[in-house]
Amino acid sequence: MHPEDMTAPDTVPPDLAADLRSRLRAAVRGDVDFGVTARALTTMDASNYRRVPLGVVAPRDADDVAAVLAVCREHGVPVVARGGGTSIAGQATGAGVVLDFTRHMNKIVSLDPEERTAVVQPGVVLDRLQEAAAPHGLRFGPDPSTHSRCTLGGMIGNNSCGSHSVAWGTTADNIGELSVISGMGDRLRLGRGWAGAPDGLRALVEGELALLRTGFPELPRRISGYALDTLLPEKGADVARAFCGTEGTLGVLTEAVVQLVEAPRARALAVLGYADEGAAAEAAAGLLQYGPLTVEGMAADLVPPGTPGLPVGGAWLFVETVGASEAEARARAEAIASAADVVDAVVVTDPAGQRMLWRIREDASGTATRMPDGSEAWPGWEDCAVPPARLGAYLRDFRGLLSAHGLRGTPYGHFGDGCIHVRIDFDLLTPEGIGRFRRFSEELADLVVAHGGSLSGEHGDGQARAELLPKMYGTELVRLFERVKGVWDPDDLLNPGMLVRPARLDENLRFAVLPRKPADVAFGYPHDGGDFSAAVRRCVGVAKCRTERVAGPAVMCPSFRATGEEEHSTRGRARLLHEMLAGEVVTDGWRSMEVRDALDLCLSCKGCRSDCPVGVDMATYKAEFLHHHYAGRRRPAAHYAMGWLPRWLRLAAPFGGALNFAGALNGALRVRPLAAFAKRLGGIAPEREIPRLPRETFRRWFDRRSRRLGGGRTEIFSSDQVAVLWPDTFTDHLSPEVGKAAVKVLEDTGRRVVLPPSGACCGLTYVSTGQLDRARAVMRRTLDRMEPVMGGPLVVLEPSCAAALRTDLPELLHDDPRARELAESVRTLAQYLEEQAPDWQPPRIDRPVAGQTHCHQHAVLGDAADRRLRGKAGLTGDLSGGCCGLAGNFGFEKGHYEVSTACAEEQLLPSVRAASDDTVLLVDGFSCRTQLEQLAGRRGRHLAEVLAEGIARPGSGGRPRT
């Protein structure tokens, strides 16, 4: 079978996949996976395209790669090399066998500081190379915005660039030698000169010297087509450089010698504000004379209103300078800011401040996928490049072309190199919209060529632009590309349909397989028009969730970092849900075991809700899936044991006092056989200890105290001097000391504390286990109970419950306006104190802190008010990010203990171990405190407890309370 015939699974002979899988398993030492999950995970990259592979192979070494090529060549099955899967033009998808280099061939073989070189395997993530080079004062120059997950192999395949290309060039400019295996199975060592080139290439090139000398435009970001002009004798016949950017169509990379550059000793970042993107584009080329490291541009449309740190303007240039010292770098940045004709400017030398600003720019690849009104936008014309001096004129014409077709898009990108990224609101769902997509593409290609540009300036042609290469290069040069492909890969084994004899740009669109009728779902999906398919489409594949290490407050995606498996990343789960809706690879819909297994290790941390640039909300998607998956079926025991936890605890509460039920139960659960039986019955991990019950719930303590003090009546809820404190299940039944402390703090502000009527519950545990009918019933009862007393702020101490009230409540009860009203009233303790008691001064604690910001607070509520309150109290230092790993019911469920522990070991436990003896362990979430106690034997405290203790301490600035 010829590779070109393999465009859909139904064209594959029934016995081909089985025979191929058997032969591959016998031939390679690496992993061979032809299962549903592996195929579903690799149907797409970060482009508009989708192709279903037969299977996936993760080779262990070059011998495995050669064996795969031999078997596939014998069967006539194409091979596609894949790194991080972040390609935007479709070149990392294929209908045959996908080679995944990230699993095994991901090592830095060696690093030579004196020669400033490193030898790397193709699956090495760029950030790992940067970390290895940093102690030697070195780095790899090119750095795409996907640096935390893109691989060197993918960068070489696409000839990636990044923001520093004005200083350090493209990947091709930083390559020494390449080890590759051609489509014929020849092992080649490519460098400068013809010594390692395949037979016939030199003769072909030397016969076309005139065409090669005249057929290629000169500009810094020419990525389109094959860079055959680098094979000219006057350019040293650099075969390794010519191989860069060939998108896996000529050979498969197995090892690379890359060149490193000296890392700047100090940097400064000048952010220059301009009236609009046109003014910024016009100014960009003029800044190159100052020798900056970057000249990046973006418009205000891509930035949420009120984003801190940016100067006034409708568009900005991010200009980075270097110096031997911070003062020198700042002086250069200030000189640029002074010389530039700008609306406003800021210069930042603080590394944290620079990282914050760079994150705004790097996240544009995701945020650009949504227009300001929330509608979808897509790649396809992501990175055209023109000579930098013509960028302003090109952008004006580009805007005109968008308007002529009734399209919208916000350009950003590498203004100093004339390279523009943009996501456009194409309609890729209807025949009419797809027709407009084609017409616009053809006209834009003409416009780029008219400005002397390249159809691709960074991400390659793939399927998105290769069809239009004759417009840029002419038919004679494109035919030469085909002849070169024939020398390297005469059987068209490698990535067919890309660059040479390409598929049409409007074929294989990934949206074509999705159902047109919205699925019947429980959540409202307000940001996606109520359409679950549109919610799943949010994942465009930029794969920020595959970041192997996070720093600062980031959370997403703890299960991927614990396992390293794509199926346990946010992107991987979104891909499986996409294929579930499509019904072609995942064929059993909501009953799919493959989707269930992938979602099983989702901690529902909600980190993707804030950290994903496009706002994928996998916690909600998981709850939705579980709701349908178990509809009419018996659920796992843990869903009843922990999903119904509020009910069980309420039933136990009346027996806690006179009968000493809590003490008896706690004692019984310390008896190993009884505890083991209880855990087995409840689906609880045997490694876990069941939390102890207090002798008295918080609400019972509060009611008893109120009777003694003669207060607590609910008819005074609306008073400004009353603080309404929500007694969540965890605070009420498991950690009443937190509630007691909050009462002390709130009363210290002069407020009288009251509790809502009993029986109100946020429904969190029912949502997290996908029992959405039950969750809705609980939430409606809560609204009924709360309706008479709504109107003012509601203080919620447990971050997970606060997040459930803020987001899950209105999204599940989207038809009830009371849900939105209650959601908007939710405040953390710090938020309430800042808003309602701005003159209150907290006690001075004056101690360092360690611990963790709750993942739900990070994702939904934010912790800015908490950080300000800690500062006022003299609590110094930052809390770690990530997820504690317990995550409510997740860490207690049988089979999750290992992943739960790995998540805790990522940030929380190391930060606690490194803390000094006088450090306050600040952990607001009950799950986080439980994890810390069970894994480290340390007791974390809620901020309310720390403040309450300080209030009663002499000399703390507080005053003793009853």
3-state secondary structure 622-680: HHHHHHHHCCCCCCCHHHHHCCCHHHHHHHHHHHCCCCCHHHHHHHHCCCHHHHHHHHH
Confidence of residue 654 (pLDDT cuts 50, 70, 90): confident
- pLDDT, average across residues 848-853: 96
Kindly state the tokens that stand for 665: 């139960």
Q: What is the pTM of this model?
A: 0.93
Domain that holds residue 872: 847-950
Q: Please determine, for residue 720, whether its predicted confidence score (pLDDT) is greater than 80.
A: no
List b or e across 426-435, with b for residues whose CB sees 16 or more CB atoms inside 10 angstroms: bbbbeeeebe
Burial class of residue 696 (count of CB atoms within 10 Å of its CB; 0-12, 13-18, 19+): middle
Q: Please determine, for residue 221, whether its predicted confidence score (pLDDT) is greater than 80.
A: yes
Angle at CA of residue 447, ends 446 and 453, nearest 5°: 95
Tell me how far apart the alpha carbons of residues 931 and 314 are, in angstroms, rounded to a whole number. 46
Residue 927 in domain: yes
The stretches of 769-923 forming alpha helices (DSSP H) are 772-786, 799-803, 809-812, 817-825, 829-836, 855-856, 864-872, 897-906, 908-913
Question: What is residue 9's predicted lDDT score, i.e. its pLDDT?
Answer: 43
Domain termination residue (choose one: 100, 135, 159)? 100
Confidence of residue 716 (pLDDT cuts 50, 70, 90): very low
Tell me how far apart the alpha carbons of residues 200 and 193 are, in angstroms, rounded to a whole number. 14
The percent of residues above 70 in pLDDT, for the chain, comes to 94
The answer on 727 and 585 residing in a single domain is no
Let me know: does 554 contact 561? Beta carbons within 8 Å: no
Question: What is residue 373's predicted lDDT score, i.e. its pLDDT?
Answer: 75
Nearest to 227 by CA among 167, 154, 155, 173: 173
Residue 246 in domain: yes
Residue type present at position 794: L
Tell me how far apart the alpha carbons of residues 404 and 941 are, in angstroms, rounded to a whole number. 60
The answer on 281 and 251 residing in a single domain is no
Tell me how far apart the alpha carbons of residues 914 and 235 are, in angstroms, rounded to a whole number. 55
Lowest mean pLDDT among 43-47, 319-323, 409-413, 433-437: 409-413
The answer on 764 and 867 residing in a single domain is no
Confidence of residue 105 (pLDDT cuts 50, 70, 90): very high
Give the chain's mean pLDDT.
Answer: 92
Q: Please determine, for residue 617, whether its predicted confidence score (pLDDT) is greater than 70.
A: yes
- pLDDT, average across residues 843-863: 96
Q: Please determine, for residue 667, whether its predicted confidence score (pLDDT) is greater than 60.
A: no
Tell me which DSSP letter residue 130 carries: H
The answer on 271 and 255 residing in a single domain is no
Bridge-based pairing state of the strands 847-852 and 875-876: parallel
Question: What is residue 957's predicted lDDT score, i.e. its pLDDT?
Answer: 52
Nearest to 308 by CA among 346, 351, 267: 346
Q: Please determine, for residue 234, whether its predicted confidence score (pLDDT) is greater than 50.
A: yes
Residue 297 in domain: yes
Bridge-based pairing state of the strands 752-754 and 794-796: unpaired
Contacts of 507 (CB under 8 A, 6+ apart): 463
Measured over the CA atoms of residue 853, residue 855, residue 859 and residue 861, the dihedral's sign is: negative
- pLDDT, average across residues 712-726: 69
The answer on 322 and 231 residing in a single domain is no
CATH number at 319 reads 3.40.462.10
The answer on 814 and 725 residing in a single domain is yes
The answer on 426 and 289 residing in a single domain is yes
**Predicted confidence (pLDDT) per residue in 150-198, tens digit:** 999 999 999 999 999 999 999 999 999 999 999 999 999 999 999 999 9
Lowest mean pLDDT among 186-190, 234-238, 370-374, 742-746: 370-374
How many residues would you count in the chain? 962
Tell me how far apart the alpha carbons of residues 924 and 935 are, in angstroms, rounded to a whole number. 17
Contacts of 53 (CB under 8 A, 6+ apart): 39, 42, 43, 80, 93, 94, 95, 96, 97, 98
The answer on 687 and 554 residing in a single domain is no
Residue 640 in domain: no
3-state secondary structure of 81: strand
The answer on 720 and 705 residing in a single domain is yes
Residue type present at position 874: G
CA separation, residue 122 to residues 30, 104, 180 (Å): 15, 10, 10
Tell me how far apart the alpha carbons of residues 414 and 247 are, in angstroms, rounded to a whole number. 21
Residue 719 in domain: yes
Let me know: does 38 contact 56? Beta carbons within 8 Å: yes
Q: Please determine, for residue 311, whether its predicted confidence score (pLDDT) is greater than 50.
A: yes
CATH number at 226 reads 3.30.465.10
Please identify which residue in the block is written with the tokens 């399209």: 407
Confidence of residue 779 (pLDDT cuts 50, 70, 90): very high
**Predicted confidence (pLDDT) per residue in 332-346, tens digit:** 999 999 999 999 999
The percent of residues above 90 in pLDDT, for the chain, comes to 85
Q: Please determine, for residue 364, whether its predicted confidence score (pLDDT) is greater than 70.
A: no
The answer on 449 and 322 residing in a single domain is yes
Tell me how far apart the alpha carbons of residues 717 and 732 are, in angstroms, rounded to a whole number. 20
The answer on 814 and 693 residing in a single domain is yes
**Predicted confidence (pLDDT) per residue in 783-833, tens digit:** 999 998 898 999 999 999 999 999 999 999 999 999 999 999 999 999 999
Residue 120 in domain: yes
Domain termination residue (choose one: 634, 664, 690)? 634
Q: Please determine, for residue 465, whether its predicted confidence score (pLDDT) is greater than 70.
A: yes
Residue 425 in domain: yes
The answer on 419 and 322 residing in a single domain is yes
**Predicted confidence (pLDDT) per residue in 856-899, tens digit:** 999 999 999 999 999 999 999 999 999 999 999 999 999 999 99
**Predicted confidence (pLDDT) per residue in 485-538, tens digit:** 999 999 999 999 999 999 999 999 999 999 989 999 999 999 999 999 999 999
Question: What is residue 509's predicted lDDT score, i.e. its pLDDT?
Answer: 96
Question: What is residue 165's predicted lDDT score, i.e. its pLDDT?
Answer: 94
Tell me how far apart the alpha carbons of residues 681 and 92 are, in angstroms, rounded to a whole number. 46
Kindly state the tokens that stand for 669: 């659960």
Question: What is residue 711's predicted lDDT score, i.e. its pLDDT?
Answer: 56
Q: Number of structural domains, the chain? A: 6
Torsion of CA 419, 213, 462, 466, to 10 degrees: 100
Question: What is residue 960's predicted lDDT score, i.e. its pLDDT?
Answer: 43
Q: Please determine, for residue 307, whether its predicted confidence score (pLDDT) is greater than 90.
A: no
- pLDDT, average across residues 297-320: 88
Question: What is residue 300's predicted lDDT score, i.e. its pLDDT?
Answer: 86
Residue 311 in domain: yes
CA separation, residue 538 to residues 108, 383, 511, 600 (Å): 34, 21, 12, 21
Of residues 408 and 370, which shows the higher confidence score?
A: 408
Reply yes or no: is the peptide bond before residue 801 cis, omega within 30 of 0. no
Domain termination residue (choose one: 262, 281, 303)? 262
